[in-house]
Homo-oligomer: A and B are copies of this chain.
């Protein structure tokens, strides 16, 4: 078993999960702040050179998990590891955000989809993309295609 502690908290405009944009075509452009705890502040040295960060956080207002579930972006069920469902065996969330500025231990970011007060577990620099000609997006691409045909 592994024990994790918050290295900081998300300051977000979203108080409830219903406020977070979800489903096909949802845009994640909300701005917020990653507030890192004072004792870890030195760990942010040189982070401002990166345009994008990977934020690993805890689904701290979700409990339990389902191995199968129907995501907001589809009308068919899929395995939890093929979705971003919050009801996971380990309640780990991941969001790629754009770093727009840094003010000491406060990272100003765009693209958050976490709730206000969410515990941050780790931050890593976003270093490289998957070559887009090799990226396949499974059921999500199929759901998008079906939605397009319905328009």
Chain A interface residues (CB < 8 Å from chain B): 1-5, 7, 36, 40, 42-52, 54, 56, 58, 60, 67-68, 77-84, 88-92, 94, 96, 98, 119, 121-130, 132, 134-142
Contact = CB atoms under 8 A, between A and B. Distances in A.
Given A5-B89, A79-B46, A90-B7, A137 B122 contact: no
Given A2-B60, A46-B78, A46-B138, 9 more contacts: A2-B58, A40-B67, A43-B81, A46-B82, A49-B138, A49-B142, A50-B82, A50-B138, A129-B135
B7 A89 contact: yes
A125 B89 contact: no
Contact of A90 (B78, B96, B121): B121
A4 B137 CA distance: 28
